[in-house]
Chains A and B, each alone.
Chain A
Amino acid sequence: MSSSLFQLGRKKFLRAPQLEAKFTIKILMGLVILYFAGSFLFAGVVIYPALSKKFLEQDAISIINSFLVLIFAFELIIRYFLQQLPVTEIKSFLLLSIPKKRIIRNVLLRSLITIYNVIPFLLYLPISIAMFNDDYLLSQVFAWWVSLALLSLSINFITILVNKNNKVLATFVLVFIFVYVVEYYSETEILRSTGHFFDSLLAHPILVLLPASIFLGLYFITFKFLKININLEGSLVAKTGVANAERYNFLNVFRPHALFLKNDLRLIVRNIRPRNIVLASFLFLFYGLAFFPSIEYQSAFFIPFASIFITGGFLLTFGNYVPAWDSEYYPFLMCQNLSYKQYLDSKWRLMTFAVLVSTVLSIPYIYFGVDIYLMILSGAFFNIGLGTWITLYGGLLNKQPLKLNVKAKAFENTQAFSGKQFLMILPKMILPVLLYLIPAQVFNSTVGLITLASSGILGIIFKNQILNQMVKLFVKEKHQTLQAFTQK
């Protein structure tokens, strides 16, 4: 019985419409997966010997241990956004004579077979092997690796338990960032002290029982959770909450665009997928923290690169799916007496607004130097003037519909991702870097900043002309887009 449940899962995968997506996309996604797998593997192989060489007086493994908590937090966030529970098909099994326990066990086991759960093998296993070669006992290495694998899998269950609860995630992220910042600047050990646990794991391998009991405990809690909720009214099925009757009348000042802006705001607030994307774009604000503090990254290439991302998070994530956000009711829109120009203009305004907000929110980056903030500012100009249009152009060519109220599936999800779009990402990343870098190399960095900013200002000056071209493209693609969006 259980094997037939697995077979259904396999068929669902093999017969999914995504699998029939264009061949190029499959290759692209394959490359992306290979890239990440390769990076993890590379990190796993290289990190231990590299650290041993660099820090002679410290244990390489205890440095790694002190960073594990960061990796786990990152893993949790990524899984939260991208990992999908295989629960969608539960509904049809509820009426068949299969014991509930078996269905749940199957769901839980199947949730373990995801791309994320190979991380322990790619990242931690090579480290373990390096440790073994470095005179650690097999029992120590084994305890260490098994503990990490079990904790990684525990995160898998935590993801299920917090499923769809954005408040829990937001609290977690905020607390985590707060603790991290405090630790970074006050030289106290809060997060890093968790490393001591992994250190003692090596001293007393028997401690592996602790992660093991966490894993088992979470398994049973999740099991119970699903058992209570596995009915048509439980939390697995989308809830019908009370509608939020906010009228957003403050947007009326933006007439005649208010109509579309209001709808876009409702779209974002009331649907799972756009909400997650906006939350994710908020995280882009912290992108600079990864680059600016460390001296090695203060290179000419990475600073403009990071600056574009800090203010462009929403732009990239939202703009790529215009008009796919409206795909569920696209035929309706195309029958209405609406001005395409106003429609696209309001999307532009929304993105511009997001860039402006991010620019204000990124003021704290002045801490790293006025130069860096000026870079962010000229990046913001570029984003408003050109970034928006490049993203919109890519979005208009996108022919994959979006399901609004469903979570995105990682890697399996080639929906809303096309080869053309992939090509559109390149100019978005490379163009601003070149616009800054070339004049900065030939003259000086001030000229670079001015060039980058004025390219954006040009885009704003010629907004009307660009918008007209966008409308032309929009009309030209109308029937093809309609056909693609209405295909079920």
Chain B
Amino acid sequence: MIKTNSLTKIYGDKTALSIDQLEIPTGQSFGLVGNNGAGKTTFFSLLLDLIKASSGEIISNKIAVAISEEWKNFTSAFIDDSFLIGYLTPEEYFYFVGSLRGIDQKEIDLFLEAYADFFNDEILNQKKYLRDFSKGNQKKVGLVATFIGKPKVIILDEPFANLDPTTQIKLKQLIHKKSEDKELTLLISSHDLNHLTEVCNRIVLLEKGSVIMDKETTAKTLQELEDYFSA
């Protein structure tokens, strides 16, 4: 689904990202770990053409991301709170995203019913603007919005951060369920090794912009990661 060739991003004389070759097959749940500054968000930003690569290219579903904008048809993402429109209510935000992806309000209402449990009665019909919600609840809105319109690629940066324990567990179940869809490619970054090894079938470890480890998730992966980070 996604292929990168000799991808680099250089700021001044600092290399933020340098990945020789990476291929993410369709249907994979791809987990990205690494300490702060390892290049996780840089990688995601490149995938979304939010920044320009210093060299190399990204091909998503046969489309060169930096050249055509066609990838937007099948890609959705939640990187940070700049992906929310603060002065809208959650409903209006969902409708807005829906209409950008060609889905009308009734379908959105139907779609949202499936997430009633995940929302825990804290999101819909609150008569509040998104900017007035807590960080955790804002994140719930942003995450659910990425599922609108059956995208083929979903990119989530730190989806577990700021969520309460109950919601973290619900999110894990949700991601599990989503990853059963063999057409959907999921890219997730996290600092929570437990969660990530549970929901992803492949883990890539970044350090200072380079890939240090790239493995299918097995029973041993969590231990290996913990060993690496405590060393």
Spell out A's residues near B (CB within 8 Å): 240, 242-243, 245, 259, 263, 266-267, 270-271, 328-332, 334-338, 404-405, 479, 482-483, 486
Q: Does B189 make an interface contact (CB < 8 A)?
A: no
Interface CB pairs A-B, < 8 A, 25: A242-B128, A243-B89, A243-B128, A243-B129, A245-B89, A245-B127, A259-B99, A259-B100, A263-B85, A263-B88, A270-B129, A271-B87, A328-B86, A329-B85, A331-B48, A331-B50, A331-B80, A331-B82, A332-B85, A334-B50, A336-B100, A337-B100, A479-B52, A483-B51, A486-B82
Contact between chains at B83 and A335 (CB < 8 Å): yes
Contact between chains at A266 and B83 (CB < 8 Å): no
Report which of A242, A263, A330 forms a contact with B127, defined as CB distance below 8 A: A242
Bound Cα distance A404, B82 (Å) = 13
Q: Which of B30-38, B70-78, B172-180, B202-210 contacts A (4 or more CB under 8 A)?
A: B70-78
For B70, give the chain A residue with the smallest CB separation.
A337
For B76, give the chain A residue with the smallest CB separation.
A335
* Leading 10 A-B pairs by shortest Cβ distance: A240-B132, A332-B83, A337-B72, A270-B87, A243-B127, A336-B100, A331-B82, A243-B89, A329-B85, A242-B127
Bound Cα distance A330, B81 (Å) = 11
Q: A266-B88, A331-B83, A482-B51 are in contact. Are A338 and B128 (CB under 8 A)?
A: no
Contact between chains at B82 and A330 (CB < 8 Å): yes
- Residues of the A chain whose Cβ atoms lie less than 8 Å from the Cβ of B92: 266
**Per-residue A-contact encoding for B173-197, CB less than 8 Å = 1, 0 else:** 0000000000000000000000000
Which residues B132-160 have CB closer than 8 A to chain A? Answer: 132
- Residues of the B chain whose Cβ atoms lie less than 8 Å from the Cβ of A270: 87, 129
- Of A240, A243, A486, the most chain B CB neighbours within 10 A belong to A243
- A446 CB to nearest B CB, Å: 47
Q: Does B97 make an interface contact (CB < 8 A)?
A: yes
Report which of B50, B99, B131 forms a contact with A335, defined as CB distance below 8 A: B50
For B78, give the chain A residue with the smallest CB separation.
A332
- Residues of the B chain whose Cβ atoms lie less than 8 Å from the Cβ of A240: 128-129, 132
Q: A271-B87, A328-B86, A404-B87 are in contact. Are A263 and B73 (CB under 8 A)?
A: no
Contact between chains at A337 and B101 (CB < 8 Å): yes
Contact between chains at A337 and B83 (CB < 8 Å): no
Spell out B's residues near A (CB within 8 Å): 48-52, 72-73, 75-77, 79-80, 82-89, 92, 96-97, 99-101, 126-129, 131-132
Bound Cα distance A108, B5 (Å) = 60
- Residues of the B chain whose Cβ atoms lie less than 8 Å from the Cβ of A332: 82-85
Bound Cα distance A482, B79 (Å) = 14
- A335 CB to nearest B CB, Å: 5
- Residues of the A chain whose Cβ atoms lie less than 8 Å from the Cβ of B73: 337
- A292 CB to nearest B CB, Å: 38
Bound Cα distance A332, B99 (Å) = 15
Taking A331-B80, A334-B48, A337-B101 as known contacts, 9 extra A-B pairs with beta carbons closer than 8 A to each other, sorted by chain A number, are A240-B128, A240-B129, A263-B96, A267-B87, A332-B83, A335-B77, A479-B52, A482-B51, A483-B51
- A484 CB to nearest B CB, Å: 12
Bound Cα distance A240, B86 (Å) = 12
- Residues of the A chain whose Cβ atoms lie less than 8 Å from the Cβ of B127: 242-243, 245
For B49, give the chain A residue with the smallest CB separation.
A334
For B102, give the chain A residue with the smallest CB separation.
A337
Bound Cα distance A354, B59 (Å) = 44
- Residues of the A chain whose Cβ atoms lie less than 8 Å from the Cβ of B80: 331
For B126, give the chain A residue with the smallest CB separation.
A243
- A263 CB to nearest B CB, Å: 7
- A333 CB to nearest B CB, Å: 9
Bound Cα distance A377, B29 (Å) = 61
- Residues of the B chain whose Cβ atoms lie less than 8 Å from the Cβ of A243: 89, 126-129
- A61 CB to nearest B CB, Å: 50
Bound Cα distance A482, B48 (Å) = 12
- Of A242, A331, A334, A405, the most chain B CB neighbours within 10 A belong to A331
For A330, give the chain B residue with the smallest CB separation.
B82
- Residues of the B chain whose Cβ atoms lie less than 8 Å from the Cβ of A263: 85, 88, 96
- Residues of the B chain whose Cβ atoms lie less than 8 Å from the Cβ of A267: 87
- Residues of the B chain whose Cβ atoms lie less than 8 Å from the Cβ of A337: 72-73, 100-101
Bound Cα distance A337, B102 (Å) = 10
Bound Cα distance A150, B129 (Å) = 41
- B88 CB to nearest A CB, Å: 7
- Residues of the A chain whose Cβ atoms lie less than 8 Å from the Cβ of B126: 243
Report which of A266, A330, A338, A483 forms a contact with B100, defined as CB distance below 8 A: A338
Contact between chains at A335 and B75 (CB < 8 Å): yes
Bound Cα distance A483, B82 (Å) = 13
- Residues of the B chain whose Cβ atoms lie less than 8 Å from the Cβ of A405: 86-87, 131
- Residues of the A chain whose Cβ atoms lie less than 8 Å from the Cβ of B89: 243, 245
- B79 CB to nearest A CB, Å: 7
- B159 CB to nearest A CB, Å: 16
- Residues of the A chain whose Cβ atoms lie less than 8 Å from the Cβ of B77: 335
Contact between chains at B99 and A331 (CB < 8 Å): no
- A266 CB to nearest B CB, Å: 6
For B105, give the chain A residue with the smallest CB separation.
A247
For B125, give the chain A residue with the smallest CB separation.
A245
- B97 CB to nearest A CB, Å: 7
Q: A245-B127, A482-B50 are in contact. Are A331 and B87 (CB under 8 A)?
A: no
- B112 CB to nearest A CB, Å: 16
Q: A266-B92, A270-B129, A483-B51 are in contact. Are A335 and B72 (CB under 8 A)?
A: yes
- Residues of the A chain whose Cβ atoms lie less than 8 Å from the Cβ of B50: 331, 334-335, 479, 482
- Of B50, B77, B99, B132, the most chain A CB neighbours within 10 A belong to B50
- Residues of the A chain whose Cβ atoms lie less than 8 Å from the Cβ of B99: 259
Report which of B72, B82, B101 forms a contact with A328, defined as CB distance below 8 A: B82
- Residues of the B chain whose Cβ atoms lie less than 8 Å from the Cβ of A335: 48, 50, 72, 75-77, 83
Contact between chains at B72 and A329 (CB < 8 Å): no
